[in-house]
Copies of this chain bind each other. A is one copy, B any other.
Amino acid sequence: MTKPMPPSKPETPAPPARIDLANVSELIARMRGGERRAISAVITELERLSAAAPALLQALQPHLGHALVAGFTGPPGAGKSTLVNAVIENLRKQGRTVGVIAVDPSSPISGGAILGDRIRMTAALDDDGVFVRSLASRGYLGGLSPAAVRIIDAMDGAGFDIVLLETVGTGQNEIDVAEVADIRVVISAPGLGDDIQAMKSGLLEIADIMVVNKGDRPGAEQTMQQLLGALSIRATISDKVPVLKTSALNGDGIAELVKALDDIGRRVSQEPAVSRRRRRARYLIARAASDLVAARIKSGGKSSLDTLADGVLSGTMTPDQAAKKVLEG
């Protein structure tokens, strides 16, 4: 059942802008004034990487670097959306503004967001201090669209204090969000079976904050203890990872979670905004380069590759050694 990776898209010229290119600075001013239609228009142009994108991004430059980007990831059933909503509510009560990028791992075949009609975050929709944009994930087993990085810039440039990047913890999504966010929040919950522990052990390496949501349920304390035990293994690492128990439904622990975000946010802010942005862009480039190399190996000169493959199969070389030969050409 060999199903090849979808081929990388052919290069296409930038799609035409839907905004008036002569009025970019006016549009940015309206967006910074909080006009929702202007925010939406800028995000859409950047998402499409239209012909207006370079001018918009240039006009945004002086306004970038204020927002913190917090990634929320975790397995299905951890109550991620409800938790994110509770965090938004807490931030809004403090008068802080929030941009939300909700990543829908949609089918690359359908092209659209299967979850488009879910009725979450309806409360937020009436609030000018919150702006939500759904974003389809791309291609093979998900993966964050490069557009996310530009939408982060748009929300940052619009003046939002914090951008929440919410994604289902699966496949490439999880890896990408870990790389793109300034702060990584990993969410779990009791009652998801012993796999949850396995899952967390991989995520332990990258979490800045661990949350046990549904903390009012039986087994929450046990899940906390397992996590703390697993974290003690990385005791040699200097930065201590907070493990917080929350209940998004009754609000327990939400204030503590926001405080933990702020504590880490203060450290993050010491890194210049340009270097945080360049880190995101370098990751996108690295990811694209990896995809290109993988595609070349899958499609490329079969006979020499078969020789290397046979070497790996016969134990005379490791995949790393074969890969080096491929890259050397």
Interface residues of A (CB under 8 A from B): 1-3, 8-9, 11, 46, 49, 53-54, 56-58, 61, 75-81, 104-110, 114-115, 118, 137, 140-142, 146, 149-150, 153, 168-175, 178, 182-184, 191-199, 201-206, 208, 230, 233-234, 236-237, 239, 264, 267-268, 271, 277-279, 281-282, 284-294, 297-298, 305-306, 308-310, 312-316, 318-324, 326-327
Contact = CB atoms under 8 A, between A and B. Distances in A.
**What is the interface of chain A mostly: helix, strand, loop, or mixed?**
helix
B193 A77 contact: yes
A82 to B, nearest CB: 9
A313 B277 contact: yes
Given A285-B319, A298-B286, A315-B54, A168 B195 contact: yes
Given A284-B312, A285-B323, 18 more contacts: A1-B267, A11-B320, A53-B315, A75-B75, A75-B76, A75-B170, A81-B195, A105-B198, A105-B202, A109-B236, A141-B174, A169-B171, A170-B174, A281-B308, A284-B322, A285-B305, A286-B293, A293-B293
Contacts of A264: 1
Contacts of A115: 194, 197-198
A105 B198 CA distance: 6
Given A77-B191, A271-B2, A315-B49, A233 B292 contact: no
B298 A294 contact: no
